[in-house]
């Protein structure tokens, strides 16, 4: 294979991979120097001149001319650095001892097998470099949002491609539970992390990360993007609910109103992207009591007592506010606790002389909704109104089995013990 053909084929391949000229020349020189070391044991006295545009390659070997006696008898003679006067005269008669001999080495001198190996090495080096560049490119944008196209939907992950055809991975664990993907559709996600597996970069995306929600706010709310509004903290139950604490650096800007937008225009775009995730935007404050109160929205708090350790908070509410503070499946209070960094305990605040009672809907985690509905059909909507009757009476008035009513009784009794 001629030098021009080798360099031209490599250059074309490198350009396809968007490898710049200096890097191309560096790779070529490294490979040719490896060939030289293999044949001559050292590349110390060699110069390589490469012109990728013309496909030119020149390899020059430089040796000092020494007298024949030194060449034959001296231990300091090095065939890679020295050449005898007799051998130099075989090349050109005018040479003298002490002069430097420049001798061009042709690619064909290395042998066909070595040249073919060099070509494969060149291609492999470009592929390795391409992987390194891809790894570094995505390593530098971890935490940034991007759009990619779905090209394969698997059981444990979705494979996507970016604009350059690079493969990206969206694992099941990083998908919102309501996400459904089809081949060819565009998906937005955040670059979660980048790993190198067996020399291959693995780019992992996420739609469940709080960072993804933060980037969506930056895209939809100009004041967040410009830094006028700061997102202090985000907690999420992906696809279900999120709480976002925001703060404005400009007293003229209402951070909550700016994030929600006129008639909810800004927040609705984010909610749709997150499969109708319910998003509470909360005005951040250093006042712990006030921050806890805001975090439990939409419930209205009567009073709050902190335990002094900075770990627990007792929150007192009217009975009709308790279920709202706790939320469906306890999600509201769970997220509020994460947002403020306190374990929140909810207590019912009773009026003077008022007996404590609990709305049946607050037991929805333990009692099936259809059972609660059966009690409500006969006008029983609180725990004590149910406990006031006997199991037999309740079984007769509803369509429930005595065994089911007994189980409900046991659950309700525990609440007042």
113 within a domain of the structure (yes/no)? yes
Range of the domain at 303: 285-356
Contact 241, 331 (CB under 8 A): yes
pLDDT at 1 over 60: no
* Helix orientation angle between 369-377 and 402-416, rounded to the nearest 10 degrees: 90
The last residue of a domain, from among 310, 336, 356? 356
Question: Residue 335 and residue 286: Cα distance in Å, rounded?
Answer: 18
212 within a domain of the structure (yes/no)? no
407 within a domain of the structure (yes/no)? yes
pLDDT of residue 76: 83
Looking at residues 72-95, what average pLDDT do you find?
84
- In a 13 Å sphere around the CA of 197, the CA atoms on its Cβ side amount to 6
Do 252 and 372 reside in the same domain of the chain?
no
pLDDT at 237 over 90: yes
- Nearest CA among 296, 301, 407, 402 for reference residue 349: 301
pLDDT of residue 351: 59
pLDDT of residue 3: 64
pLDDT > 90: percent of the chain = 37
Do 243 and 190 reside in the same domain of the chain?
no
pLDDT at 352 over 60: no
218 within a domain of the structure (yes/no)? no
Do 169 and 74 reside in the same domain of the chain?
no
Do 249 and 317 reside in the same domain of the chain?
no
109 within a domain of the structure (yes/no)? yes
Looking at residues 350-376, what average pLDDT do you find?
76
pLDDT at 340 over 90: yes
Looking at residues 185-212, what average pLDDT do you find?
94
Q: Provide the CATH number for the domain around residue 330.
A: 3.30.300.20
Q: Where does the pLDDT of residue 78 fall: very low under 50, low under 70, confident under 90, or very high at 90 and above?
A: confident
Number of domains in the chain: 5
Beta bridge partners of 304: 315
Each residue's pLDDT tens digit, 290-313: 999 999 988 899 889 988 777 888
- Nearest CA among 219, 201, 207, 211 for reference residue 235: 211
Do 176 and 98 reside in the same domain of the chain?
no
- Among the residue ranges 11-25, 102-116, 226-240, the one predicted with the least confidence is 11-25
């Amino acid at each position: 294979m001629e030098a021009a053909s080798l360099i031209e084929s490599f250059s074309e391949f490198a350009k396809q991979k968007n490898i710049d000229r200096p890097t191309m020349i560096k790779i070529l020189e490294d490979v040719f120097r490896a060939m030289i070391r293999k044949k001559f044991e050292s590349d110390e006295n060699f110069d390589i001149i490469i012109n990728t545009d013309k496909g030119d390659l020149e390899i020059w070997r430089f040796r000092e001319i020494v007298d024949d006696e030194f060449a034959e008898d001296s231990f300091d003679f090095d065939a890679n650095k020295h050449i005898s006067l007799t051998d130099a005269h075989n090349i050109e008669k005018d040479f003298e001892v002490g002069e430097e001999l420049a001798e061009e080495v042709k690619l064909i001198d290395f042998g066909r097998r070595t040249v073919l190996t060099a070509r494969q090495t060149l291609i492999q080096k470009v592929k390795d470099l391409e992987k390194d560049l891809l790894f570094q490119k995505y390593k530098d944008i971890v935490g940034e949002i991007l759009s990619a196209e779905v090209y394969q939907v698997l059981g444990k992950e979705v494979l996507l491609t970016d604009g350059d055809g690079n493969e990206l991975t969206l694992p099941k664990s990083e998908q919102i539970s309501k996400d459904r993907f089809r081949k060819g559709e565009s998906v937005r996600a955040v670059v979660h992390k980048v790993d190198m597996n067996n020399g291959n970069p693995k780019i992992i995306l996420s739609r469940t990360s709080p960072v993804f929600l933060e980037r969506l706010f930056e895209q939809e709310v100009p004041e967040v993007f410009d830094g006028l509004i700061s997102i202090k903290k985000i907690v999420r139950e992906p696809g279900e609910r999120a709480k976002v604490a925001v703060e404005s650096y400009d007293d003229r800007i209402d951070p909550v109103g700016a994030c929600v937008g006129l008639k909810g225009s800004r927040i609705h775009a984010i909610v749709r992207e997150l499969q109708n995730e319910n998003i509470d935007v909360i005005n951040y404050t250093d006042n712990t009591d006030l921050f806890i109160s805001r975090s439990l929205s939409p419930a209205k708090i009567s009073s709050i007592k902190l335990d002094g350790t900075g770990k627990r908070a007792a929150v007192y509410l009217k009975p009709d506010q308790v279920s709202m503070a706790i939320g469906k499946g306890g999600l509201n209070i769970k997220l509020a606790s994460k947002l403020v960094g306190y374990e929140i305990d909810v207590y019912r605040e009773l009026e003077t002389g008022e007996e404590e009672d609990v709305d049946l809907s607050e037991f929805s985690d333990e009692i099936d909704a259809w059972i609660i509905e059966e009690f409500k059909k006969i006008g029983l909507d609180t725990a004590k109104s149910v406990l006031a009757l006997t199991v037999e009476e309740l079984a007769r008035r509803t369509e429930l089995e005595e065994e089911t009513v007994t189980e409900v009784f046991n659950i309700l009794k525990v609440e007042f013990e």
